[in-house]
Structure 1
Amino acid sequence: MQLGRLGIWYSPDKIGRAQGVADFAKTVEGLGYDTLWYPESRGFESFTVAGYMLGQTRTLKLGSSIASIYARDPFTARRGMISLNELYGDRFILGLGVSHMPMVEGVRGHTYEKPIPAMRRYVDGITRDQPGSETWPIALAALRPLMLKLSADMTRGALPYNVTPKHTAEAAKILGPGKWLAVEQKVTLETDPAKARALGRAELSRYMVLDNYRNCWLGLGFTEADLANGGSERFIDSMVLWGTADKVKEGLRAHFAAGATHVAIQPVHPEGDTTTRDAIMKALADT
């Protein structure tokens, strides 16, 4: 499987109803995006919603971003990935992640293990003694160097989330040539600074309390002050590209210049405003 240049990252939970999910997938496909990435949500089971969206489209790839390793055992993940690809023409990418302690222990009732050993065991459980598994469309949510290295050693590549072009450049060096580096980037076409940053802070608020992201941001040169009170302007402007389409495209191209092989655009918009969401995707489809 080849991964194209541009994708969309969006949660079906923001849509809710089945027909809306189908219509959204068709819109993404119609705009020419290569892949639609979606999270392990509370509303839709990951593999089920992938199958539904694959069934509503013809060429669009669907990528879990991510499917939690605590949600299903490696055998089930393997069979789910293989089944979706056999049923829908090799259009499913299995993105895996270790998730976060509150989701693992608080929501699922599992014990959150050390990320690197846990992920290594899980991927090994999927691929061990499986002919051709080195080409399977598996990639890992990876932020720090050790997980990026594991992505390169055991899968097709990495799926960094909430990062900057500086991180993309560092990740590209660790992954090396021939690996996927599919970077998520939040965007809005709001040109009013106060409104754009308010949208950004609302979107980022759920991540600001998670240690995995905070540690990554601190490693990228942000300070505790940048992460306080909803995020400094410097931090928000780095995490959510805003402004005219040309300005946002320039920010997206910075990831490619840093070594990204794919950029997944996440539209940021007022809650429920699907018109603005779709306008963002349309305006950026030719980046």
Structure 2
Amino acid sequence: MGSHPALGTIGIWTAALRSTDPAREAEVREAAAELDELGYGAIWLGGSPAPDEAGLLLDATSRIGVATGILSIWDHEAAYVAERFAAIDAVHDGRFVLGLGVSHSKIVDRYARPYTAMREYLTALDSAPVPVPASRRVLAALGPKMLRLAGDRAAGAHPYLVTPEFTASAREILGAEAVLAPELKVVLDTDLDRARATARDYLSFYLALPNYTNNLLRLGFEEKDFANGGSDRLISSVFALGDEEAIRRGVDAFLAAGADHVAVQVVTADPLRALPRAEWRALAQALPLHGS
């Protein structure tokens, strides 16, 4: 598209800032505000958040971009998303980025013809009374067709559970102008055996989803790499493990492969609810938040 959303170089991907629990709202707002102050370029709100969940984080911050990472097209009707995007974006200076994806057949009962469904969803966003600009949306693309769609009808791609090698091939498909913002899982723990165990506990859920395993097979992994939460080879390819410098090397590998932005997901023993604020602070000192 030639127009990038305001994401900066490094963002934080987390599902733990999603909350409809009023008792957690103050904690969520405070954590989002700290990410803003630390200098991260974007918050990627994990799961399939509704636009108003992203709106809560936008209300709590003043500079940082907030993206849905990702909003499932099966969970939220396009007309509703366009209406809420327009209303929220109008008061937040272009900081809202709409990340869209087709989810997975094992999760969505009515999953069918995902590529066609995404094209039709984008057309509905384009046809809304206040359209969602193509330059303000990204697609959770893995396969070549969806990557090309991300370059043609969105600002670019936000691929999840990928490697630097995938990032290089995605850049070739997208071209130089589209934004490429892969997610990278990290475990900030110098005990590497324990870090791998944390990684496997988390990864096992994703290794049951064919969209991810098929993409990993295309990258040269084998079925045996998916057993027991992932082989050492797989873990070292889709995670960065260790101290801050090890995480920096992992991030740098994605940037060198062609990423414009890396969405860093800090994985802990309770990644869906616990807010790893100490890790976010430590990484803010080690990562190239300002492109350095």
Same fold by TM (over 0.5)?
A: yes
Per-residue CA deviations over 1:193-228 (Å, capped at 9, x if unaligned) read 210101111121210100100101111111111111
Alignment of 1:37-52 (within 5 A): 37-41=44-48, 45-52=49-56
Are residue 103 (structure 1) and residue 107 (structure 2) matched?
Answer: yes
Letter in 2 for 1:278: W
- Which residue number corresponds to residue 164 of structure 1? 163
CA contact (8 A) 2:82 2:131 kept: no
Distance 1:200 1:280 in 2: 19
Which residue number in structure 2 is paired with residue 281 of structure 1?
Answer: 283
Structure-1 separation of matches of 2:62 and 2:17: 22
Summarize the Cα distance change of 1:62–1:99 in structure 2 as closer, same or farther, 3 Å threshold: same
Matched, 1:175 2:178: no
> Among residues 2, 9, 24, which one is paired with 2:31 in the alignment?
24
Q: How many pairs were matched up? A: 279
In the alignment, is the contact (CA less than 8 A) between 2:134 and 2:153 conserved in 1? Answer: no
Partner amino acid, structure 2, of 1:95: G
Which of 85, 89, 93 is 1:89 aligned to?
Answer: 93
User: How much has 1:247 moved relative to structure 2?
Assistant: 2.0
Task: Give per-residue Cα distances to partners, 1:230-252, cap 9 Å, x unaligned.
Answer: 11111111111012212221111
Q: Is the 8 A contact 1:267 1:281 kept in 2?
A: no
Q: Is residue 7 from structure 1 mapped to residue 11 from structure 2 by the alignment? A: yes
Instruction: Give distance in 2, aligned partners of 1:251 and 1:230.
Output: 20
Matched residue, 2:231: 232
Q: Residue 89 and residue 134 in structure 1: after superposition, are their counterparts in 2 closer, same or farther (change >3 A)?
A: closer
- The one-letter code matched in structure 2 to 1:79 is E
Stretch moving more, 51-60 or 264-273? 264-273
Report the equivalent of 1:108.
none
1:275 & 1:150 partners in 2: Cα distance? 36
1:279 Cα deviation after fit: 4.1
Corresponding letter in the other structure for 2:146: M
- 1:1-287 → structure 2 map (5 Å cutoff): 1-12=5-16, 17-41=24-48, 45-105=49-109, 111-128=110-127, 135-271=134-270, 272=274, 274=276, 276-286=278-288
Q: Which amino acid aligns with 1:30?
A: E
- Structure 2: which amino acid aligns with 1:147? M
Q: Tell whether the 8 Å contact from 2:42 to 2:65 is kept in structure 1 after alignment.
A: yes
User: 1:102 is paired with a residue of what secondary structure?
Assistant: coil
The offset of 1:119, in angstroms, is: 0.4
Q: Deviations over 1:44-92 (max 9, x none)?
A: x521211111111111111001001011221112112221110222110
User: Cα–Cα, structure 1 residues 61 and 207, in superposed 2: closer, same or farther, change >3 Å?
Assistant: same
The structural deviation recorded for 1:286 is: 3.3
Is the CA contact 1:269–1:277 (under 8 Å) kept in the aligned structure 2? no
Deviates more, 1:51-60 or 1:82-91: 82-91
Gaps of 5+ in 1: 106-110
Where relative contact order (Cα < 8 A, 6+ residues apart) is larger, the structure is 2
SS of residue in 2 equivalent to 1:63: strand
Which amino acid in structure 1 is aligned with residue 260 of structure 2? T
Distance change >3 Å, CA 56–CA 2, structure 1 → 2: closer
Contact 2:6–2:65, Cα closer than 8 Å, also in 1 = no
RMSD of aligned Cα (Å): 2.1
Deviations 1:255-278 (A, max 9, x none): 111111111111112334735433
Residue 163 to residue 150, structure 1, CA distance change in 2 (3 Å): same
Secondary structure of the residue aligned to 1:228 is helix
TM-score by length of 1: 0.90
Q: In the TM superposition, what is the alpha-carbon distance from 1:118 to its structure 2 partner?
A: 0.7
